[in-house]
Amino acid sequence: MTLITLVRHGQTDWNLEKRIQGSTDIPLNESGRGDARWAASQLGATTHHAIYASPLLRARETAEIIAAELALPAPALVPDLREREFGEGEGMLVPDYIASYGDWHAEVPGAETLDEVGVRALAALHRIAREARRRSAPVAESLIVVSHGGVIRSLIDHVSGGTLPREGEALANGSIHRFEASPGSLRLLEQAYVL
């Protein structure tokens, strides 16, 4: 068993504007750096052995801040943890996206589906967990993984059988989601949100 704590990256100016980032590489803003420090303060009560991150700047910088606060080695970058590709929707304001495409499940030219995101992200988490089990068996490792709202949402949707997150429920920047990974299984343990 491996404990995996997924953290959504801190705020960016595009988050503040309610603009779809997708794979566009947007840096954290000052509030986003505060989100990362808040997440580190919440994670500090537990021992963690390693940190991983999406290679996109906003996730990587969040992970670097958390790693520095918790005295962990630099984050390992995992391309399959990157945010959903939104194709023609990238850079659009959320209301304009909804007006153009209807909802988040719509087929958008050049975009990944939520299912495709979930499949690649789940495979990435299982690879990370397998490596951790090989490194530390028989002791369980606790890992931090910094990723994106679309990735975390797709994983929560998968493990809950589509019952979570609830319709309209936002995954806040800096939010924390704890999972337990076992061979072939991922289970949601708890979620905490930035207020």
Q: Given 9, 126, 158, 177, which residue is catalytic?
A: 9
Contacts of 170 (CB under 8 A, 6+ apart): none
C-alpha 116/C-alpha 111 separation (Å) is: 10
Cα–Cα distance for residue pair 36/10, rounded to 1 Å: 6
Residue 86, sorted as left (phi over 0), alpha (psi -120 to 50) or beta, turns out to be alpha
* Annotation says 83 is catalytic: yes
Catalytic residue from among 61, 83, 85, 141: 83
Report the alpha-carbon distance of residue 161 to residue 168 in Å, rounded: 17
* 105 catalytic residue (yes or no): no
What is the Cα 178 distance to its own chain's centre?
Answer: 11
Pairing outcome for strands 2-8 and 76-77: unpaired
Q: Which residues of 52-90 are buried (b: 16+ CB within 10 A; e: fewer)?
A: bbbebebbbbbbbbbbeebebeebeebebbbbbbbeebb
Amino acid letter at 72? L
> Which positions are catalytic?
9, 83
